[in-house]
Amino acid sequence: MLGTLGRYFNLFFITLFILVGLSFVLAFFFPGDPVFNLTGMSLEELPTSAYTKALADERWFVAFWYYVQSLLDGSWGISTITGLDLFAEISTLLPATIELTAYATIVALLVGIPLGFWCGLKHHRKTDYAFMSISMLMSSFPIFWLSLLLILVVSLQLGWLPMSGRLSLLYDIPHYSGFILLDIYVSDHPYRQEALMDALRHMILPTLSVAFLATAVFLRTTRRAVVDVLEQDYIAAAQTRGIPFWKIFLRHIMRNALLAVLPLLAVQVSTLVTNVMIVETITEWPGIGDWLIQAIYERDYSAIRIGMLVVSTVVVFVTLLIECLSKLFDPTQEQFS
């Protein structure tokens, strides 16, 4: 168990190191001055320090060392376009993205996995075929199109839900954690209730657009896992022992199927984050995806560099976390470690 943890810890740090290295090297591939790309300022504007000296002398390896240090300090440089401090920017943007991803994942898990179980148990029957076709259809929608369609129909035509943003401008909620629901909850705004409702109404469309695809994927993954487990000898063996089916389901099928699904979810993390970023741009959700795409439009290389680093770190972290957890939960995995 400790060994597994240790291995994943190592893996995470090595990957992180490579990512940091890449982000450093990218500054040289982007057009323009590498120093400018790394810090958002030209050499003359920078306060003198060991870091700037290394940069000025083009001692790149030493500079890289200081670069890593500056990343750890939280001095990530400034945006070349707006001049805002990148660390402060990202610490308000990232929670919004995480929030959206989390809600979408929860919705998708709550819908996709139970449905997947149901389809798996009824596999090769009509309900199964129906749901499989639906999920096929769902996962083949391009997400930007789906998101736009939802906005068109639900917000513009029917006027049920707000079409963009995270909260109506009427409510001025002080920044506390960056997670809007939490911020509203801890604030002492006179219209807290209303603000909460408003935030929820803003959340529905982006959450649904992301969850739509994820549900389809979870459904199919779970169904496959259940069908596989059902074909195992030990299920037939349990049946020959005269154990009622619901008990077999609770004790053997559910457990083994979920253990099989968990590592597969790790693969989906990056797709999920990509989808979230696309939806953010369309619904103007103030998250890192929206911001990063803006940065790309504006050729804000300093921001692109750090945005890419942050997003990939989050993806790597979550992926490894899920994989590590699935290793720890699954007793059959121990034999390989």
Partner 1 sequence: MILLDIRNLTLEIESNGVLVKALDKVSLSICEKEIRALVGESGSGKSLIVRAISGSLPPQWIITADRLTWRGQNLLKMSKSERQKIMRRDIAVIFQDPQAALDPSVKLGAQFRESIPNEFINSRWWWQQRAEQNRIAWAQLTRVGIKDVKKCLNSYVHELPDDVCQKFMIAMALVSQPTLLIADDPTRGMETSTKRQIMSLCKNLNRHSDLSILFVSHDLLAISSIAHTITVLYSGQTVEDGPFDSVRRKPFHPYSKALLDSAPSFRPELQPKSPLTALKGTIPTLQHLPIGCRLGPRCPRAQKECVNTPVPRTIHKRQYRCHFPLHIDADENLDGKYEGIDV
- HSE-up of 210 (CA within 13 Å, CB side)? 33
Q: Which residues between 30 and 89 bind partner 1 (CB under 8 A)?
A: none
Q: At its nearest, how many Å lie between partner 1 and the CB of residue 318?
A: 24
The nearer residue to partner 1, 45 or 334, going by C-beta atoms, is 334
Site membership for partner 1, residue 236 (CB under 8 A):
yes
As a whole number of angstroms, the distance between CA 123 and CA 2 comes to: 39
Could you say which of 3, 47, 190, 331 contacts partner 1 (CB under 8 A)? 331
Nearest to 56 by CA among 47, 46, 43: 43
Pick between residue 48 and residue 335 the one whose CB is nearest to partner 1.
335
- In this chain, which of 3, 47, 83, 242 binds partner 1, going by CB under 8 A? 242
247 lies in the binding site for partner 1 (CB under 8 A): yes
Strands of the chain, DSSP E: none
Task: State which of residues 23, 101, 256, 268 lies at the interface with partner 1 (CB under 8 A).
Answer: 256
Whole-angstrom distance, CA of residue 302 vs CA of residue 299: 9
Select the residue interacting with partner 1 from 58, 243, 267, 299 (CB under 8 A): 243
CA dist., res. 184 & res. 167, Å (int): 10
250 binding partner 1? (CB under 8 A): no
Nearest-angstrom CA–CA distance, 182 and 36:
37
Return the range that interacts with partner 1 (CB under 8 A); candidates 47-55, 160-168, 192-200, 237-245. 237-245
* Environment class of 79 (CB within 10 Å of its CB; exposed 0-12, middle 13-18, buried 19+): buried
State the binding string over 107-136 for partner 1 (x if CB under 8 A, else -).
-----------------x------------
Please state, in angstroms and rounded to a whole number, the distance separating the CA atoms of residues 286 and 179.
11
Q: Which stretch binds partner 1 (CB under 8 A): 60-68, 111-119, 252-260, 287-295?
A: 252-260
Reduced to 3 states (helix: H, G, I; strand: E, B; else coil), residue 328 is helix
The correct pick among 237, 267, 284, 299 for binding partner 1 (CB under 8 A) is: 237
Q: Could you tell me the smallest distance in angstroms from the CB atom of residue 258 to partner 1?
A: 10
Q: What crossing angle do the helices spanning 301-329 and 288-297 adopt, rounded to 10°? A: 150
- Alpha carbon 117 to its chain centroid, in Å, reads 25
Q: Which spans of this chain sit near partner 1 (rule: CB under 8 A)?
A: 124, 232-234, 236-244, 247, 251-252, 255-256, 259, 330-332, 335
